[in-house]
Amino acid sequence: MQSDAALVTMVKDGHKSAFKELVERHKKPAFRMALGLVGNKDDAHDISQEAFLRVYRSAATFDTSQPFLPWFYTIIANLCRTWLRKRSRTENRMVDVEDPSFLLVDKADPEKEVMQKETLSRLQDALMQLEFKDREIIMLQHFRGMSYEEIAEILDIPKGTVMSRLYYARKKLAALMGAE
């Protein structure tokens, strides 16, 4: 299995199969990250596709001595920020509560399923009320399962800053959720 940097180098040299492999490797994480940041499946799909187009167009500028994921995440995050600036909060559509990729719902117990869907809906509303930097750090840690070290690398901030931002973002989210 070739590294992401090797694939980007091959993309620079015009190998379309390398780009296809890069897309296959990262399309689900890219979609989920965009979904968590913008809160809408259709927009997340568009953003993740645009991110890959930018990778393709910018492959020549990628520094192969640096890791691919922080560079790619920056592209996704910037696209999400731009999208959110263009769209007012009142127009913002939320993730479909039935979307199993966002939360596993217990369908065996109808009462529990209803409670989980209500909680998910409240969580989505609360997440979209957070500032981008707070939503971003919560998505990386709690929904992408990244370690503090990985988040620090991706966001290019010290580990202590990650811990601090996460602490305050959680407090804000808890306040929005009614401290449940």
Asked whether residue 61 falls in the same domain as residue 113, the answer is no
Last residue of a domain, one of 89, 116, 149: 89
CATH at 169: 1.10.10.10
Under DSSP, is residue 109 helix (H, G, I), strand (E, B) or coil? Answer: coil
For residue 88, what pLDDT is reported?
56
Q: What is the pLDDT of residue 106?
A: 53
Domain membership of residue 53 (yes or no) is yes
95 within domain boundaries: no
Query: What are the tens digits of pLDDT across the range 75-126?
Result: 999 999 898 888 754 454 444 434 444 455 556 677 777 787 788 788 888 8
Q: What's the N-to-C CA distance of the chain in angstroms?
A: 44
**Could you tell me the CATH number of the domain that includes residue 33?**
1.10.1740.10
CB atoms under 10 Å from CB of 178, counted, come to 8
pLDDT of residue 108: 66
Q: Considering the domain boundaries, does residue 97 fall inside one?
A: no
Q: What is the pLDDT of residues 122-179, one digit of tens each?
A: 888 888 889 999 998 998 888 888 889 988 988 889 999 999 999 999 999 999 988 5
pLDDT of res. 95: 43
- Better-predicted residue by pLDDT, 98 or 59: 59
Residue finishing a domain among 89, 117, 152: 89
Same domain for 125 and 72:
no
Count up the domains in the chain and report the number.
Answer: 2
> Does residue 1 sit in the same domain as residue 81?
yes
Do 19 and 63 have their domain in common?
Answer: yes
81 and 112 in a single domain? The answer is no
Q: Are residues 19 and 65 in the same domain?
A: yes
pLDDT digits (tens, 9 = 90+) for 16-58: 999 999 999 999 999 999 998 888 899 999 999 999 999 999 9
Task: Flag whether 101 is in a domain.
Answer: no
Q: Give pLDDT, residue 107.
A: 61
Residue 52 lies in a domain: yes
Question: In which residue are the tokens 């990386």 written?
Answer: 140
**d(Cα 113, Cα 122) in Å, to the nearest integer?**
14
- The verdict on residue 143 lying in a domain is yes
Q: Are residues 2 and 70 in the same domain?
A: yes
Tell me which of 62 and 106 has the higher pLDDT.
Answer: 62
Alpha carbons 19 and 166: distance in angstroms, whole number: 34
The DSSP string of the chain is ---HHHHHHHHHTT-HHHHHHHHHHHHHHHHHHHHHHH--HHHHHHHHHHHHHHHHHHGGG--TTS-HHHHHHHHHHHHHHHHHHHS-GGGPPPPPTT-TTT----TTSHHHHHHHHHHHHHHHHHHHHS-HHHHHHHIIIIIS---HHHHHHHHTS-HHHHHHHHHHHHHHHHHHTT--
Domain that holds residue 149: 107-180
Last residue of a domain, one of 34, 59, 89: 89
DSSP 87: S
